[in-house]
Structure 1
C-alpha cells in the first residue's frame, strides 16, 4: 500500500476500490470544470467507469508502470495525482493530476507535484520527471513553473479535447537539478 503524508493537511494514498464512489462523485460534481482540460470526462459517465479506472491503475502499479493516488486534503478525497507512466528504461516519470473545483486555490496541487517529484527523484531514483500541460491552461502551468521545472518545448496539437486540438507545453526536472 502506498501512503505518502505530505504535510498536516495533504497526503497521497494509492487508489482503492473503496474510493470509487467518492472519486466518481468528485468527477461528476466537477465535470464541467474539469472538461475544459481533461479529455476523458465523456468516457467516465457511471461509477463502473471509475471502478475500471482504479482496477487498471492497480494492475499498472503492481507492474511498476504507474502510480495512481487519491489526494487527501483535511481527511477528504479531493482529487487525483500520481505518475501516469513510469518509464524505468529511461528513468523518467510523467506526473498527472486533477483537483475538484471547490478545492482550487489552496496550494494543494503544488504540494502534491512537489512531493511526487521528490519521490520520483529520491526514492525511485529516476533521472527525470515531466509534466505536460495544455498551453492555455495557465493555472496548471503555474505548478511546474513554481517548482522550478524547465520549460523544454511545445508539442503542437498534442491532444484532442472534444472539439479542438490543444498544444502541450513540456516541463522537465532532472535529478541533478532537484533541490
Structure 2
C-alpha cells in the first residue's frame, strides 16, 4: 500500500474502505464549502455512496491509473489528494486535492502538492504534473502559483457544477523546471 510521510504530523496514505466513514464525515461537515467547487459532493449523500467511490479508486490504483490518498494531519483525516490520472505513455500525472473547511489556511495543501509533485517526478519518473482548478477558486489556484507551476491557459466551460459551467485554469510543472 502507498504511504508517504511529508512531516512528523502530516502524511498521506492510500485510501482504503476502512477510511470511508471518516472521509464521508469530513465531506458531510464541509459539504457547503466543498459543493461550491466539486461536482461529486451531491452524489455522496450516504456513507455507502462514498464507499463505492473508494472501491472504484482501489481498482484504478491496482490498474496503475490513479493514486487516491487521504491527508492525515495531527492524526486527523483532513482531506484528500490524488493523482486522478496517471499516464505513463506521456509521463504525466494529473493532481487534484481538497481539504475540509476547518483545515484550510494552515499550509497543508501546499506541502501536500509540493510533496506529491516531488514524488511524481523523482519516484514515478514523470515529466509533467498537471493541475486543473476552477478559474474562480482563488484559494485552490494559489497553491500551484505558490509552487511556481506555469499557468498554461483556460479551458472554457470545462465542468458542469450543479446549475452552471465553470472554466478551469490549467497549471503544469515539468521535471526540468522542478529540479532547478
TM-score per shorter chain, which class?
over 0.9
Other-structure match for 1:168: 168
Inter-partner Cα distance in structure 2 for 1:104 and 1:139: 9
> CA deviation digits over 1:5-56, x for unaligned, max 9?
0012210000011111100000011000100100011111111111111111
Size of the alignment, in residue pairs? 179
Other structure's SS at 1:139 match: helix
SS at match of 1:55: helix
**CA-atom RMSD, angstroms?**
0.6
Q: Which residue of 1 aligns with 2:42?
A: 42
Name the SS for the 1:121 alignment partner.
helix
Q: Secondary structure at the match of 1:6?
A: strand
- Cα deviation, 1:90-142, whole Å, max 9, x if unaligned, reads 11000011100011111000000001100101100011000000000000000
- Which residue of 1 is the match for residue 140 of structure 2? 140
Name the residue aligned to 2:87.
87
CA distance in 2, matches of 1:47, 1:108: 25
Q: Where does structure 2 lack aligned partners over 5 or more consecutive residues?
A: none
1:73-84 superposed matches below 5 A: 73-84=73-84
Post-superposition Cα deviations, 1:36-77, rounded to whole Å, max 9, x if no partner, equal 100011111111111111111111111110000000000111
| Match in the other structure for 1:114 | 114
Partner of 2:127: 127
| TM-score normalised by the chain length of structure 1 | 0.99
> Which residue pairs with 1:51 in the alignment?
51
**C-alpha distance in 1 between matches for 2:93 and 2:103:** 25
2:42 is the alignment partner of 1:23? no
Q: Residue 12 of structure 2 aligns with which residue?
A: 12
Length-normalised TM-score, structure 2: 0.98
Report SS of the residue matched to 2:60: helix
Q: SS at 1:83's partner residue?
A: strand
| Structure 1: tracts of 5 or more residues without a match | none
